[in-house]
Amino acid sequence: MAHTPSTTSHHAPRPVGIGLDYGTSNSVLAVFDGERLVCVPLECAGVTTPSAVHIDRQFQVCTGQAAIDRYIADNRGRRVQLAAEVLGEARTGTGQLDEEGLPALSGSEQVFGQAFVDVGEKGRLFRGVKRLLGNASLTRLMVFEKAFRPVALVTPLLLAMRQRLREWARQQAPGVGEADHACLGHPVNFEGREAQHNTVALERLSEAAAHAGFVRQVFYPEPMAAALSYMHAFPTVQPGRLLAVDFGGGTLDLCVLQRQGDAFEVLSIHGEGLGGDHLDQSLFRALLFPLLGKGESWRRSGDEREIVTLFPFEHYEDLLLNWAVSYRLNQNEYTTPLLSCIAQGGEAVEKFQRLYTLITSNLSYLVFQSLRDVKAALSSGEIAVLDIPDLDIELTVTRAQFEAIIAHHLAHFDQAVTDTLALAQCLPEQIDDVVSTGGSSLIPAVRRLLEARFPGRVQDHDPFTSVAGGLAIAEYRGLGFTRESTPRG
């Protein structure tokens, strides 16, 4: 990262620390008053809220679980109709600033790509926007006929979280006051290829938080926040070296700390672009691609004889694996070959019909949700059922099968642990405690990998809330770094 995380206070501790964990999949808010650490109820069902924003055609916004419910209700069984439209704008030069403080058209170009929009769509759902924040070239996204900056797709969720915090605080924690300050977590490395992708992502997250009312901000690395939360929960643990492993929906973040009472020294910090979303895509490839026509033949008439080739499934794969843009498959270049395969009949016709239904009925999000349900079920059981009635799929999946599918991701995870230890210049036996957190840490194979290296020293710690708790503690103790947080526009 562009900033080195601090372990000592840079400013006076606040009466109350607020921790904001804006995650790829879910988000959490926590409050710490020096003694009591509490996560704020953000949904009726609990303290986590999906990192989701829904925008309808009247540009009305809803967030969290309500956003997902609205999207599913609007799209179940709906036929997709496409028309050409601009997807977004990418900056091509400095240019002049418009009245909103944004680059004028003279300094940008419209991004068409496969530029088609679903004209019958009632609303757009945005999840995983955190993964886009480090993409500096992505300056605007088209939402119906309006251009939205990435910041505008984060702000509504953070604003809703702050509103719920203030409502809760009136009854439970008057010391929170206006809740105009927070410690924001960040991965060690945001996703992005440009040299300044981390800086760009932090600028965007900071601006979104400021628009939401968190105008006084500090930032803190997510794995260090998880370690702080663990040290608060277990204050009597002996001094020593602590490895924190935060394996979430979008990234894998690790750090090694040398602990001495309440103080600690950072020995290493490391991050990889590996998370639950990547595991979901691997499940889709292995379990569903064969049921959707991958590897099947396509027969069609030629000038002199029948032509038989493999169905060009590879043309569909990238869009299938990214549910937010799967609607683009509703173009003639994709649907015409499918209709041809359906018309030819044969044993594979059911698979091609299934793919056609998935595409035209806009079922991609529901498919991925079903895969996540299977993944979660296999964390506690040996067998799960992948049940997708809309596609006539009912498939039994074993834990052993799942682990074989994600074997290359597990190897990536194992290598990241090796790299983190190397950066700290210590051996596995020199680690006294391992803190495992994040939703993907619940996968039994992940736990076994850690136990194999650090037998008897691995502790599961609040997989969905530990980071937010640690961020609240960090702000209370005056840790983290600051940056400009004045909103623009």
Question: What's the pLDDT tens digit per position in 413-437?
Answer: 999 999 999 999 999 999 999 999 9
Question: What's the pLDDT tens digit per position in 64-94?
Answer: 999 999 988 887 767 766 665 544 454 444 3
- Containing 210, the helix (H) or strand (E) segment is helix 197-211
d(C-alpha 428, C-alpha 437), whole Å: 19
pLDDT at 81: 67
- Containing 253, the helix (H) or strand (E) segment is strand 252-260
Cβ atoms of 144 and 60 closer than 8 Å: no
d(C-alpha 444, C-alpha 430), whole Å: 24
Cβ atoms of 121 and 361 closer than 8 Å: no
For residue 434, give the nearest of 407, 455, 465 by alpha carbon: 455
Q: Which residues pair with 142 in a beta bridge?
A: 147
Cβ atoms of 32 and 473 closer than 8 Å: yes
pLDDT at 117: 62
In the chain, domain spans: 17-220
d(C-alpha 436, C-alpha 349), whole Å: 46
pLDDT at 7: 52
pLDDT at 394: 97
Q: Which residues pair with 269 in a beta bridge?
A: 255
What is the assigned CATH class of domain 17-220?
alpha beta
pLDDT at 144: 86
Please give the backbone phi and psi of residue 192, each rounded to the nearest 5 degrees, phi first.
155, 150
Strand ranges (DSSP E) for 278-375? 297-301, 306-310
Cα Rg for the chain, rounded, in angstroms?
Answer: 24
Please give the backbone phi and psi of residue 455, each rounded to the nearest 5 degrees, phi first.
-60, 130
Cβ atoms of 26 and 48 closer than 8 Å: yes
> What are the residue ranges in the chain where pLDDT is below 50?
1-4, 6, 8-13, 86-88, 90-115, 485-489
